[in-house]
Amino acid sequence: MGRFLPIRRLMRRRHKERGATLIEASLILPIMIAILIGTIETGVAFKDYLTVSYASRDGARIGALAGNDADADCHIVHGVIDALGSEASVADLLGLQIYRADPATGNRINADTNTWILAGTDPYDCAFDWTITEKWPSTSRKTAFSASSQLDIIGVRLYFKHDWLTGFPPFSGFFWVDEHTITRMEPESFE
């Protein structure tokens, strides 16, 4: 009889530990879920930031290569749309600016800024589905070296709206991704 006494004590101790484990799990589980949600939300937001940054660089590169072609801005828009990828990403693109940057500072020159805002459903239709404010015609861009002037510096700026996925605080609502890239126009001729 004395031999079975420690087994009974061990069984009681295990029963008490089961309750403690359940309480510990109920305390830790909400923290683990919050960490998981934060990781997912931050990862998706970072992916969107990188996508917009890549689209801005791609648009500036295309603009530098397109030079003073009459359809240069449309080529830039197509490049940005292709870089964004999915239709959901294009729908969150609130605006696009193509501008001439100051050679000394790299800042945008407001007087030479073209603004494109998607107003229709087909982002590839440059003529009808975009509201365009043109202050810097693509045909006026300096793409040739000369003794009196430098090549223009072209910039592409994107405004993108990122909606949080879960709405779980503090990830509720949305935030803006405002990304821009500048690059020097590619020379077409040397004088």
Q: Report d(CA 169, CA 40) in Å as an integer.
A: 13
What pLDDT was estimated at residue 3?
57
Domain chopping of the chain, boundaries: 8-190
pLDDT number for residue 7 = 66
- Which residues, in sequence order, are CB contacts of 116 under 8 Å at separation 6+? 73, 77, 95, 96, 97, 98, 130, 131, 132
- Which pLDDT value is given to residue 145? 81
- pLDDT score at 5: 58
pLDDT in tens, 98-124: 999 999 999 999 999 999 999 888 889
Q: What pLDDT, on a 0 to 100 scale, did the predictor assign at position 121? A: 86
Q: What pLDDT was estimated at residue 86?
A: 78
- The position carrying tokens 């090549």 is 151
The span from the CA of 151 to the CA of 188, in Å, is 10
Q: Alpha-carbon distance 178 to 161, whole Å?
A: 9
Please tell me the predicted confidence (pLDDT) of residue 63: 95
pLDDT at 14: 63
Task: Name the stretches of the chain with pLDDT < 70.
Answer: 1-5, 7-18, 189-191
Q: What is the pLDDT of residues 136-149, one digit of tens each?
A: 999 999 988 877 77
Q: Please tell me the predicted confidence (pLDDT) of residue 140.
A: 92
pTM of the model: 0.82
Residue 179 sits at the vertex; the CA angle it makes with 173 and 180, to the nearest 5 degrees, is 160
